[in-house]
Structure 1
Amino acid sequence: MATEADARMIIDQLLKDAGWDIFNKAQVSTEESSADGRADYLLKNTRTQPLAIIEAKRFSVDPYSAKAQAKDYAQSLNVPFIILSNGKEHYFWDYIDGGDARPILGIPTQADLERRANLKIHRMGSLQASLDAIPYPVKFRFKGEEIEARPYQLQCLEKADEALIAGRRRMLFEMTTGTGKTLTIAMLMKRWFQSAIISRVLFLADRIELAKQAKETFDDYLRDWPSALLYGGKKSLEGQIVVGTLDTIAGQLGANGFGHGYFDIVVTDECHRSIYNTHRATLAHFDAIHIGLTATPNPGELRWISDHERQLVKSTYLFFDCWDSAKKEGMPTFSYILQEGIRDKFLANYKIYLAESKLTFEGATWEDDEISYGDWGRTAESEDRLKLIIDEYFRIEEERSLARPRKTIAFAVSEKQAVILERLFNKLLPDDACLRIADQLNRSPDQVRQEFAKKITCYSNNGNPKPVIDQFKYDPLPVIAVSVDMLDTGYDHKEIENLVMLRPTKSAIKYAQMCGRGSRLCPRISKTEFLIYDFVDNTENFDDPGMEYHRPKEVSARYGLEQPGEAETDVDTTPPPYPKPKTHEFFV
């Protein structure tokens, strides 16, 4: 029969793995006498002062049951932390102000425990008192401008504070695209840095490009707390904020890597993609406050049509302790959905044009929630079918206000389809529109005809699409970007006014992310709404609540103005004219 001594053999090895010298009594002592008995292990800081006790139990005993006994020892020895272990299961308990004992996968290092203990010394009393001493940000400088905090951002900070004080260690923030998730979490991090709740942060992004964007935000708003972008190799010791991807961090665990207690808070952006397979284990490695950020649509806003995705979202809620089993729904710590942003005039409204021409799915093969471009692709990518769609697009566009060319993203299925779409958009651009746009942009008609549309895929610019992405964002041409998985997420371009759906999907998350590319307001061009052209029935499949766009009855071909008393119009303000091009402005 296994005894407590067997459990202690495993605990000894866990201590060694975490860098503790179990033979050095200045670090680890055993059978330490207290007023109420003997603590199995006493861990000490670098000045040999008590730091934590470990209460060991045999394999058959749930270590959580030893809380009361261990707390007596800890209070008697004046140690701030308790570890409960039977060699197989382990709990960490910051019993003073850290909530209940929580499961951990291993023992923290001496340095990490000592750092956490020092944080307590710098606080102004309890968590509540420390947070109350720090005012919420009302106005602040960001990217060279005076910014006023939005009401929903302050509400998010309040909800996070309340959850922390209530002992929550996992939180989920659902914030729709365009509402500033990264800036909001930076505001929270600064507040918790200042109140000595945290001293080290790990921010995990879905892609390295998004990690770089997040670091730019932190470098600006959190300039007093240095950040480091982690690519690979050795762990970064340069910053209090480490930014990286899950794949990179996963290679930094274990010996000489990040310990279980290295970070005080782990923020996972687009977290619905991370709670599966090995990534879930990577997140669970860290004994930290876990905050998930997601623009995942609330099930009440869009209809789920994928069981796979429904389970994925449920798993996200479960990981962040936000799943209500009785109601069978997620209860995020904070939520701010698209319709709320539109109502509060922080996001652009939108309308949906339900196209007459459709791409059909006969013969389609689906891979999870995305369509496979096999036999269906060869049919759908036929030139005649796509020509019909593009002709309809231009017919509707030319009936709308013509004050300026509208920046547009066309979502395509494949590289092959994108190449055809780029060519057809350029070829079928009406002559009148070509001449008008050339005049509006101070470009030659030839250049407009050649560069009106460009594809942006992983193959663009010899496998380096970033210059083409930047050209679309900062230059007047191209007007249309044909994207294959490049501009669906994490792309911030406020001037996007049209989205063309040529990519079917069963993923409500994917659809919401594509729609989010147009949701940002743009005062420079007086943009308050955008239009979704749906050629694949995505909007109907997800029961999108957006208002349907109806064509004007009569439009002046010359000025793009509706006759009095007719149907809806686009109210546009002509932006400042573009300068004439210099020889170095465009790509050859």
Structure 2
Amino acid sequence: MEAKIDKSKLSETDIISKFILPAVKKVGWDDMTQIRQEVKLRDGKVIVRGNAAARRTVKSADIVLYHKPSMPLAVIEAKANKHEIGKGMQQGLDYANLLDVPFIFASNGDGFIFHDKTNATTLETEIALADFPTPQQLWDKFCNWKGYKTENLPIITQDYYDDGSGKSPRYYQLQAINKTVEAVAAGQDRVLLVMATGTGKTYTAFQIIWRLWKAKAKKRILFLADRNILVDQTKNNDFQPFGTAMTKVTGRTVDPAFEVHLALYQALTGPEEQQKAYKQVDPNFFDLIVVDECHRGSAAEDSAWREILDYFSSATQIGLTATPKETEEVSNIEYFGEPIYTYSLKQGIEDGFLAPYKVIRVDIDVDVQGWRPTKDQVDKHGELIEDRIYNQKDFDRTLVIDERTELVAKTITSYLQKTDPMAKTIVFCDDIDHAERMRRALVNLNPEQVAKNEKYVMKITGDDEIGKAQLDNFINPKKKYPVITTTSELMTTGVDAKTCKLVVLDQSIQSMTKFKQIVGRGTRIDDKYGKLWFTILDFKKATELFADEHFDGIPERVKVTKPEDFDNEDELTDIIDGTGEDETANPFGDEEMDDTIQEPDAPYEPNANSADNANLGGDDWTEESDKVRKFYVNGVAVKALAERIQYYDSDGKLVTESFKDYTRKTIIKEFASLDEFAKKWQASDRKQAIIDELADMGVIWEVLEQEVGKELDPFDMICHVVYDMPPLTRKERADQVKKRNYFTKYGDVAQQVLQSLLDKYADAGVSEVENITVLKVAPFTELGSMTEIIKQGFGGKPQYLAAIQELEAQLYSIDSQTA
């Protein structure tokens, strides 16, 4: 007769393998395709303080059940049998929300608590192990809950592309893909996806197109972008699996032999009729159009590029953007509708998929106080300077002060020298002239680096072919050079610089859209190359936009129309409802069209009078000498008034505080008093576990050591920083234990081991005491092998571990703390 298993002594892993999985497989769930264990949904938020960073550890969903790889259905969260049957439910609900599934099961091996969001009357019920639902039962309930129509199921259930490498869409990408495919299958012809820069919009778009194409729901697809680099990156990277079915539109010819077309707007249209290549094909030629970065040219009703979308109006059109544009003139939401899915910068940082940032804001005296020329003062070129007070918005646009440029360049150089001189850096300047002057200043301040490689500093702007040619090297983590780039508009978007660690803002930025795009240059994470966070060095108060309520959200629709612009009330109603057209805008209309790179196949230029173009000159257009009158002066005493360092906190706000303040607030939330903390520390078998736990909360020991002192034990560090106790160094603690001479109850070998462990503690901390393998190194090796030391000195491993616990109790005794 088989012995009965005592569940109470089994681990959570045993409960899963011996009870939960057998119950699930017994009713028909396929172990190879429908069951996944330890599904990691988040990467773990990166906590940054000072120049150090650490990832929080994240738990994985114990089990996720799938109809197909693209269709998750249920989450099962297990706990050891010593816990109540439903203990894992709240954890399971969290995972289910990420996966957008309605079924959650919690179990301790005795049965299941079943949370069913499709059940309107009873959300949670207890069911026996033998009564776990079959795959068909859950799938039928899921389809009813989603409202799927039978005729749409072949499209909805089409698998995503799998290259066999194990790469699969992240949870938010899968949500975006599934919601879009479902909407298209249901007949929705305009879809907007909002995903923060660096979260894989193009990969998501590829999977959407792949599923619709493979299901034969869409046969001819157009992927539209307004920058050549975006088209080429897409074709060569994410879209590569389309192979010979794909082409890039060149030479203003749309080749009907291909099914997937990637194109620049500029290659399809222009102001002259003969340039409108899209008219070569029938309006019904494309049945799916995906618009990348749709906040730019295609957003404006009057944009020359909107005519392409209007011509192919019968096609399903999907807009992708990190920054939906909602201004008085332009509305993405009006055209595409409310976003079907949104994944924000804040959420990306919380999940650990995007890099957090710290902000260093430098206020310069002339920016704050203004500068006025003396009577009849002329600039370096003999030009009479207009007599008025020049302020921050004027500098580098209408007035150049050489010393101000020099100060900014010195600050950048100093930061890099203190942190990492080879950290990839983008310096955003007001115009091409400013970018060139900044390049020169940085070259002169970094002669040793430039001597090693003259491409250490490069200007990358639309007018400079040599600089533009270095863009690929800058964004390639394997290429060391260029390190510092100066730019104005060219690198605001479409630059996938995964290892960019420093974003410098010496540009006046009023547009929230533009600000988000620029911040996005640093938000990518690259663990392989140690890029977990980045710094924003702000000289022009641009980061005040972080405080804007719309920084991380979906903007309200604020498009303004004027009654006098229309002939009658009905026409006005059409505009307000989003069905009419505004006839008042400029022929090229988009205020941010100077973001667009002029490619050889794009001979026309946008309206030279657009707001940004008039103010900036732009990277991508030839600057006109009479566009902006600019004075150049030197001999002005310039200095930095203040420097503030701010961090992104868990609420998505920037906070200004020392790391000691952060540590104090964080730990007080967990341990309200010194007594609580001391009890937890004393009760722990392994002090390293508490150290790791605090690190997960963002307490980075390296930074604390820099602020407080390197000889303190983590216990003393916390007691001192959080609870204002006088600190003892590790050596002082070790010496006090030696004075007590409590070792005398042990034999000679054990006494020598414990004395040496105290010395190790004084040098390197408690982790050395708790690591049993320390017995394999000197001076312990003089006493014998690790096995011999444990057996002969202590009588066995349990006795050795007990001696270590007693040693730690002596180290952290109350007498030690108050001595």
TM range (shorter): 0.5 to 0.7
The match for 2:511 among 498, 501, 507 is 507
2:317 maps to what in 1? Answer: 290
Write the mapping of 1:114-153 to structure 2, written as runs, cut at 5 A. 127-136=151-160, 139-141=162-164, 146-153=166-173
* % identical aligned pairs: 29
Match in the other structure for 2:469: 467
How far is 1:182 from its partner?
1.1
Query: How does 1:21-170 map onto structure 2 within 5 Å?
Result: 127-136=151-160, 139-141=162-164, 146-170=166-190
Q: Tell me the equivalent position of 2:692.
A: none
Superposed CA deviations along residues 170-204 of structure 1, whole A, max 9, x for unmatched, are: 00001111111111111011111121211000111
Cα deviation, residue 541, structure 1: 3.4
Secondary structure at the aligned position of 1:385 is classed as helix
What is aligned with 1:495? 499
Residue 547 (structure 1) shift: 3.2
Q: Which has the higher helix share?
A: 2
Whole-angstrom distance in 2 between the partners of 1:265 and 1:136: 17
Correspondence for 1:207: 227
Shift of 1:164: 2.2
Residue of 645, 651, 654 corresponding to 1:547 = 654
- Structure 2 gaps of 5+ residues are 1-148, 372-391, 552-651, 661-701, 711-819
Moved more, 230-239 or 258-267: 230-239
Within the candidate set 497, 514, 531, 1:527 is matched to: 531
Deviation at 1:418? 1.3
Q: Which of 548, 557, 566 is residue 707 of structure 2 equivalent to?
A: 566
State the TM-score, normalized to the length of structure 1: 0.60
Partner Cα distance (1:416, 1:253) in 2: 34
Q: Which residue of 1 aligns with 2:335?
A: 319
The whole-number CA distance in structure 1 between the counterparts of 2:359 and 2:487 is 20
Q: For residue 52 of structure 1, what is the aligned residue in structure 2?
A: none
Aligned partner of 2:299 among 258, 270, 275? 275
Which has more radius of gyration? 2
Instruction: Report the CA distance shift for 1:227/1:218 in structure 2 as closer, same or farther (over 3 A).
Output: farther
For 2:234, the aligned partner's letter is: A
Provide the secondary structure at the position in 2 that maps to 1:238. Answer: coil
Is the Cα–Cα contact under 8 Å of residues 269 and 278 in structure 2 kept in the other structure?
A: no
Partner SS for 1:356: strand
Query: Which amino acid is the alignment partner of residue 514 of structure 1?
Result: I
Q: Per-residue deviation at 1:567?
A: 7.8
SS in 1 for 2:299: coil
Aligned counterpart for 2:427 among listed residues 402, 410, 423: 410
How far apart, CA to CA, are the structure 2 residues paired with 1:316 and 1:394? 40
Q: Structure 1, residues 515-558: CA drift from partner, whole Å, max 9, x if none?
A: 111111112222111010111111103426553576889xxxxx
By percentage of residues, which structure has more strand?
Answer: 1
How far apart, in 1, do the equivalents of 2:467 and 2:396 lie? 23
Which amino acid in 1 is paired with 2:346?
Q
Counterpart check, 1:381 vs 2:390: no
- State the Cα distance separating 1:413 from its structure 2 match: 1.3
Instruction: Give the 5 Å matches for 1:352-371.
Output: 352-357=359-364, 360=367
Which of 448, 453, 457 is residue 453 of structure 1 equivalent to? 457
Q: Which residue of 1 aligns with 2:573?
A: none
Structure-2-length-normalised TM-score: 0.44
**Cα distance in structure 2, aligned partners of 1:562 and 1:355:** 22
Looking at structure 2, the residues matched to 567 and 502 of structure 1 have their Cα atoms a distance apart, in angstroms, of 34
State the shift of 1:423 in Å.
Answer: 1.6
Kindly provide the amino acid, as one letter, of the partner of residue 294 in structure 2: C
Give the 3 Å change call, closer, same or farther, for CA 319–378 of structure 1 in structure 2.
closer
The residue type equivalent to 2:159 in the other structure is P
Match for residue 50 of structure 1? none
Name the SS of the counterpart of 1:311 in structure 2: coil
CA offsets per residue over residues 95-128 of structure 1, 9 Å max, x none? xxxxxxxxxxxxxxxxxxxxxxxxxxxxxx9542
Change (3 A) 1:480 1:451: same
Show structure 1 runs of 5+ residues with no match: 1-124, 299-308, 323-330, 364-372, 439-444, 554-560, 570-588
Deviation of the 1:236 alpha carbon:
1.5
Partner of 2:196: 176
Runs of 4+ in 1 over 4 A off after TM superposition: 251-256, 373-376, 548-553
The amino acid of 1:263's aligned partner reads: F
Q: Give the SS at the match of 1:381.
A: strand
In 2, Cα distance between equivalents of 1:208 and 1:290: 21
SS at structure 2 position matched to 1:261: coil
Task: Say whether the 8 Å CA contact 1:352–1:546 is kept in structure 2.
Answer: no
AA of the residue aligned to 1:159: K
In 2, the alpha carbon distance for the partners of 1:469 and 1:164 equals: 37
Q: What secondary structure, in the 3-state scheme, does the structure 1 residue paired with 2:471 have? A: helix
Contact 1:198/1:264 (8 A) holds in 2: yes
| 1:301 corresponding residue in structure 2 | none
Provide closer, same or farther for how the CA distance between residues 181 and 392 of structure 1 changes in structure 2, counting only shifts above 3 A: same
Aligned to 2:256: 237
Mapped partners of 1:232, 1:546: distance in 2: 48
| One-letter amino acid matched to 2:305 | H
1:373-396, CA deviations, whole angstroms, 9 ceiling, x for partnerless residues?
996436653210112222233344
For 1:218-275, what per-residue CA distance to the aligned partner results, in whole angstroms no more than 9, with x for missing partners?
542323x611111233322231011112232236758961211101101111112212
